[in-house]
Amino acid sequence: MTDVTEHTAARPRADFLHRFSVRDAGTLIGLVVILAVFGALVPGFFAERNLINILQQSSINACLALGMTLVIISGGIDLSVGPTAALSAVISASMLVAGVPFPLAIAAGFAIGLVCGLLNGVLVAYVGLQPFIVTLGTLSTYRALALIYTGGNPVLGLPAGFRAIFNGSLFGLPLAVIIVAVVALIAWVILKKTPFGEYLLAVGGNEEAAYIAGVPIARTKIAAYMISGLLAALAAQILIGRLGAAEPILGNLWELDAIAAAAIGGASLMGGKGSVVGTILGAVILGTMRNGLTLMNVQSFYQLLATGLIILAAMLIDRVTRGRG
Amino acid sequence: MSVIPRLQFEGISKMFPAVRALGDVSFSVGGGEIHGLLGENGAGKSTLLRILSGVYRPTAGRVLIDGRPVALNNPVAARAAGVAMIHQELQQVPHLSVAQNMFLGHPLTRGGIFVARREQERRAAEALAAIDPTIDPAAPLGSLKVAQRQIVEIARALLDRARIVAMDEPTSSLTPSEFERLAEVIAGLARDGVAVVYVSHKLDEVFGICHRATIMRDGVVVDSVNLARVSEKAVVSMMVGRELAQEQHRSHASSEVRLSVRGLASATKVHDVSFDLHRGEVLGIAGLVGSGRTELLRLLAGADRASSGTVEIDGRAIKLSNPRDAIAAGIGLVPEERKREGIVPLRSISSNMALASMGVFAPRGVIDHTRLKRVAAEKMKRVNLRPFLLDRPIRLFSGGNQQKAIIGRWLAAGTRILLFDEPTRGIDVGVKAEIYHLIEELAAEGHSVVVVSSELPEVIRLADRVLVMRDGTVAAELGRADLSEQAIAAHAIPQSEARAGTARHVGVTDRTSG
């Protein structure tokens, strides 16, 4: 596959196709198959409204999964995204209810996400603790802070104006979907076109070699966790905009869906490997499964089972096709 | 030696999809013989060893032990047939005891349930007594030196009553006296009638301890020779398939001092090192493993922090608190352990090359891929990358080509001082010459080069001047005129080991004195 580069370099179109990796094509085929199956089984599945529904339902997970993908590529993991989102949500929400201007309240929510990510990153990069343990610890810590801050009660009655921001639509698409699409585009540019993207891949692929080559290891890792925190905060704003309320327990188990989307999309938990396109497709696959099974009135137990099987199937296909370099 | 050979390969072929790894390999090894297996990387040595140890099954041909064909269908079957394999990277568990490691996978038990730890340790001690009684069977394996771990592996082979012992590059990290000890143990195995297959890159070792050798190239046997009757040079040309030109050393050193190191020390391994490096000079650093050579390079590359001392470049003092400082000052390290410290395996040649100079390729924050491709093509042509596939993941290239890409990385970063740690470790004889050539050309262009190497011929071939390190400090400085293997060895070896060290150069025929 890689052998063709010399011939294609001159042609931008072929170059684009070349960049669309074999692994991403596999994920896309998986999505097409799943869509076809539901299309055949569920009447009205392909209705425009339902397809938009799927995108909308996938958008929050996709948003988190993009940050997760960057962290996973750097060789880490972020289990704290759900509680980070919750903390960001309740603080923004309480400011909104208190009458703070929208931009300020939203900025405060983003700042919370960045700070949560910063703490994760510093503990991983400077203190040298294992990412799994660090974010397991902050998972409880951030959740506890959200619960303590609210006394365990939801923050209700968000202003209609705020809700309108995230519930609007543009060109017939929900604004949430468009926001996440823009975020995905930015993430793709970061990974493919910036030194930071190369550094992420190098740090996750071989930290020692990256260090000798002068890559700023700590800064790279911390930035990945901060982006993950920021995107968790963005997901939180989208959610509370939709619901009109912020619960301190929101975002429970979000980290697992985000990891699943990244893994289905080809990210390796060993680090050094992952794809923005793949992760988006992975999130849409999970969203499609949920939507289709719900329309078929399948019990939620079986939905969980299906999700599990999809993840395992993706990993098995990865394993089987790996040998062909 | 009996008439029927202990081990016989008969027409062994091994096909992988689209690749013939081995073609009609036949040779035999007698009981009590130490048989060298030589060849460049990819010649098929490892495949043959894997067939012998039951990891691969041959596509055609058979293996005979004591004249009888054996089915080596899996590692357990190979072990049962009396084959013991001693791997290059020891497959041991450091947290477990010596005895537990020796019985790994088939522990002695009481009633099939409980591990009979005492009994294991007793039996392990018996096996060890014959070769190295100083090793405590109850000690954690991780507390042993690499050489002692090799001995433990051999003791394990004795425990299994192995009739054939295959060793893959057993001496890659041993000191001369440790090598001497290992050579004695191997000779002891042979005296007991074991057939030893000995794979090594180091020709002097093979000539030192082996009786005969089989030379392989591109999956076929070139010849099996009696080592007493051939020269090293003849063996090398059989391995490479052509005559390697003997090249003369040429110096390009100027009088201009590029790098000046004074009183450099680290917390543990390096003490009070001072030297100057000139423009266009190749400075060799010799010394035993553990003498502080690698640690010195890591200090200069900013990978570790010095506890005291100064480093000046072109007369200006520089701070080296991380590799970025060193790179900014024009220093780049080509590390010894390429897989661990050099390459990012999944990334392309271009990405690996650009890693140290991302700022140059992304002046406005976004990588200029057109420019990156152009520079990569230019630098990789310069180092003669083969195959010339810049977008291919670096892990799919040979060690020599990975090394070229790392050199290209520093050329792209505008590095003026190149630090090579064991520049040709794990690199084929043919590519070695290319790397030497490249180092000389870099010096001729005005780069300053430091080469740390354990291979004395390599140091002598390349260096304008040699520092010999011992116990973390510079024990001697040798100019071109004083340069010889003997002179280096005399300064490198601590007094207590001097006798063992010279014994190594005499060869194992002298082993009775040890």
Which string of DSSP letters, residue by residue, matches B26-75?
Answer: EEEE-TT-EEEEE--TTSSHHHHHHHHTTSS--SEEEEEETTEEE---SH
Q: Is residue B188 part of a domain?
A: yes
With a CB cutoff of 8 Å and minimum separation 6, the contacts of B350 are: B372, B373, B376, B390, B391
Q: B113 falls in which pLDDT band (50, 70, 90)?
A: confident
Interchain contact, A212 vs B373, CB within 8 Å: no
Contacts of B358 in chain A (CB under 8 A): 195, 198-199
Of A195, A205, A208, the CB nearest to B346: A205
* Res. B242: pLDDT tops 80: no
Structural domain count, chain B: 3
pLDDT of residue B172: 66
Residue B15 inside a domain? The answer is: yes
Residues B84 and B133 in one domain: yes
Q: What is the DSSP letter of B493?
A: S
Question: Is the Cβ pair B359, A195 closer than 8 Å?
Answer: yes
Residue B249 included in any domain: no
Residue B422 located in a structural domain: yes
Residues B222 and B264 in one domain: no
pLDDT band, residue B245 (cuts 50/70/90): low
Are B326 and B467 members of one domain?
yes
Task: Return the residue in B369, B391, B397 with the most chain A beta carbons within 10 A, the one to mutate for interface testing.
Answer: B391
Q: For residues B234 and B263, state if they share a domain.
A: no
CB contact under 8 A, B362 and A9: no
Q: What is the CATH number of the domain that holds B299?
A: 3.40.50.300
Question: What residues pair up with B82 in beta bridges, in sequence order?
Answer: none
Instruction: Count interface pairs A-B at CB distance under 8 A.
Output: 90
Residues of A whose CB is below 8 A from B326: 214
CB contact under 8 Å between B340 and A195, yes or no, is no
Q: Is B225 helix (H, G, I), strand (E, B) or coil?
A: strand
Give the pLDDT of residue B90: 67
Q: Residue B332: what pLDDT? A: 97
Q: Shortest CB distance from A210 goes to which of B326, B354, B355?
A: B355
What residues in A contact B324, CB-CB < 8 Å?
A: 214, 216
What confidence tens digit (pLDDT) does each residue in B256-286 have? 999 999 999 998 899 999 999 999 999 999 9
Q: Please report the pLDDT score of residue B501 as a whole number.
A: 44
Q: What percent of chain B has pLDDT over 90?
A: 59
B392, two tokens: 């291919």
Rounded to whole angstroms, the Cα distance separating B322 from B314 reads 20
Q: Count Cβ atoms below 10 Å from residue B238 Cβ, excluding itself.
A: 19
Q: Quick check: is B514 in a domain?
A: no
Q: In what order do the strands lie in the sheet with B448-452?
A: B331-334, B417-421, B448-452, B282-287, B465-470, B473-479
Q: Do B355 and A9 touch (CB under 8 A)?
A: no
Nearest to A211 among B303, B347, B396 (CB): B303
A201: nearest CA in chain B?
A: B347
- What are the chain B neighbours of A6 within 8 Å (beta carbons)? 389
Both B309 and B409 in a single domain? no
What residues of chain B lie within 8 A of the CB of A210, using their CB? 344, 355
Please judge whether A209 and B342 are an interchain contact, meaning their C-beta atoms are less than 8 angstroms apart. yes
Rounded to an integer, what distance in angstroms lies between the CA atom of residue B514 and that of residue B508? 10
Q: Are B168 and B194 part of one and the same domain?
A: yes
Give B334→chain A minimum CA distance, Å: 9
pLDDT of amino acid B109: 85
Per-residue pLDDT averaged across B356-364, rounded?
93
Over residues B469-483, mean pLDDT: 93
Integer-rounded Cα Rg, in Å, for chain B is 25
Confidence of residue B346 (pLDDT cuts 50, 70, 90): very high
* Residues on chain B touching A206 (C-beta within 8 angstroms): 340, 343-345
**Are both B100 and B188 inside the same structural domain?**
yes
**Which of A261, A268, A272 lies closest to A30 in space, CA to CA?**
A261
For residue B472, being part of any structural domain is answered with: yes
CA distance A195 to chain B (A): 6
Chain B interface, best mutation among A208, A212, A215, A217, by max B CB count within 10 A: A212
Q: Check if the beta carbon of residue A24 is closer than 8 Å to that of residue A262.
A: no
* Sheet of strand B316-317: strand arrangement: B273-278, B257-265, B308-313, B316-317
pLDDT, position A86? 98
Considering the domain boundaries, does residue B505 fall inside one? Answer: no
Task: List pLDDT tens digits, range B294-317.
Answer: 999 999 999 999 999 999 999 999
Q: Which residues of B lie inside 8 Å of A (Cβ-Cβ)?
A: 301, 303, 322-324, 326-327, 333, 335, 340-348, 351, 354-356, 358-359, 361-362, 365-367, 369, 373, 389-393, 396, 409, 413
- Inter-chain residue contact A205 with B335, CB threshold 8 Å: no
Please tell me which of the candidates A201, A209, A216 has its beta carbon nearest to residue B341: A209
Given a cut of 70, the residues of chain A with pLDDT beneath it are 1-20, 321-325
CA distance B397 to chain A (A): 12
The residue among B197, B214, B240 that closes a domain is B240
Query: Closest approach of chain A CAs to the CA of B343, in angstroms?
Result: 6
Task: Please enumerate in sequence order all residues whose Cβ is within 8 A of that of A202, keeping only pairs 6 or more positions apart, or say none.
Answer: A209, A210, A213, A215, A272, B344, B347, B351, B355
Omega before B387 within 30 of 0, i.e. cis: yes
Question: Taking CB atoms and an 8 Å cutoff, what residues of chain B touch A273?
Answer: 346
Residues from A in contact with B at Cβ < 8 Å: 2-3, 5-6, 9, 189, 193-195, 198-199, 201-202, 205-206, 208-216, 272-273, 325
Strands (E), B266-392: 273-278, 282-287, 308-313, 316-317, 331-334
Pairing of strands B109-110, B60-65: unpaired
Q: Which chain B residues are Cβ-neighbours of A5 within 8 angstroms?
A: 389-391
Provide the greatest CA pair distance for chain A. Answer: 64
Contact B358 A273 (CB under 8 A): no
pLDDT above 80 for B379: yes
Domain ranges, residue B82? 7-240
* Beta carbons of A201 and B344 less than 8 Å apart: yes
Q: Within a 10 A sphere around the Cβ of B57, how many other Cβ atoms? A: 12
Beta bridge partners of B313: B259, B316
Question: Residue B511: its pLDDT value, please?
Answer: 32
CB distance B343–A201 less than 8 Å?
no
Average pLDDT over residues B443-460: 93
Is B500 a residue whose pLDDT tops 60? no
What whole-number distance in Å separates Cα of residue B324 and Cα of residue B316?
17
Distance in angstroms between the alpha carbons of the first and the last residue of chain B: 26
Q: Which domains does chain A have, with CATH numbers?
A: 53-322 (1.10.3470)
For residues B143 and B225, state if they share a domain. Answer: yes
Residue at a domain's end among B214, B240, B266:
B240
Indicate whether B421 and B409 sit together in one domain: no
The answer to the question of residue B141 being in a domain is yes
- Do residues B306 and B344 share a domain? no
Chain B residue closest to A190 (CA)?
A: B366
What ipTM describes this predicted complex? Answer: 0.86
Which residue bears the tokens 């390096």?
B270
* pLDDT in the model for residue B1: 45
Last residue of a domain, one of B211, B240, B269: B240
Q: Are residues B173 and B116 in the same domain?
A: yes
pLDDT at B497 over 80: no
**Least confident stretch, A56-65, B133-142, B239-248:** B239-248
Q: Average pLDDT in the B10-39 region? A: 90
Rounded to the nearest angstrom, the minimum Cα separation between B65 and chain A is 34
Q: Which helix (H) or strand (E) holds A245?
A: none
Of A195, A199, A206, the CB nearest to B345: A206
Shared domain check, B186 and B77: yes
Share of chain B above pLDDT 70, in %: 93
Cβ of B373 within 8 Å of Cβ of A9? The answer is yes
The predicted structure's pLDDT at residue B495:
60
Angle (CA) B248-B249-B251 rounded to 5° is 145
The b/e string for B417-433 (b: 16+ C-beta within 10 A; e otherwise) is: bbbbbbbbbbbbbbbbb
